[in-house]
Amino acid sequence: MKTKPPVLSGALAALAVLSLLSCGGDNSTSSQPPATVKDDPSFSADIQTTFTSSCISSGCHGATGSAGLVLLQGQSYANLVNVDSSQDNTKKRVLPGDATNSYLVIKLEGRQSNGARMPLGGSPNATFIQNVKNWIGKGAKNN
């Protein structure tokens, strides 16, 4: 009886493990809610959660926020809404009712003339951008 070469046996074992891991479909233990665009997003549930999981955890907008923008829970709303941008003082970071001219959206969409597009070195999430725009468009409520 012939034995399989060790490389082939290892590759087959890895394939079997990957196949098992991909089973199960919906992962109900995920800590992230499904990425959906909402007509009237909540600041705390839909916007702040992404700030926490992405902008803060990356080290950019934690306690020593990049460009002076701290996005920690309990501080982010006051640091965003009706606050002049430190990179373009002709713009508000978030101007309630006007997503197009809010500097947060400008940075997420890559339309800024100063600094880099957010997230720095990452890919912008289209669902998050649309939820930010919808939140601002609905008045940028602190909810």
What number is the average pLDDT over the span 109-120? 92
**Segments in the chain forming alpha helices (H):** 6-22, 48-50, 76-80, 103-109, 126-137
Q: What is the pLDDT of residue 122?
A: 82
Asked if residue 99 lies in contact with residue 133, where contact means CB atoms within 8 angstroms, the answer is: yes
Give the contacts of 114 (CB within 8 A, at least 6 positions apart): 87, 88
Residue 72 · residue 64 · CB < 8 Å: no
Helix (H, G, I), strand (E, B) or coil at 92: strand
- How many alpha carbons lie under 13 Å from residue 22 in its C-beta half-sphere? 6
143/32: higher pLDDT: 143
| pLDDT score for 44 | 96
Output Rg (C-alpha) for the chain, integer angstroms: 21
Instruction: State the average pLDDT over residues 101-122.
Output: 93
Q: What is the pLDDT of residues 11-69, one digit of tens each?
A: 333 333 323 222 333 333 334 544 799 999 999 999 999 999 989 888 899 988 888 89
Entry pTM:
0.75
Q: Where are the domains of the chain?
A: 43-137
The predicted-structure confidence for 18-28, as pLDDT tens digits, reads as follows 232 223 333 33
Burial environment of residue 45 by CB neighbours within 10 A (0 to 12, 13 to 18, 19 or more):
exposed
Give me 30's structure tokens: 């995920």
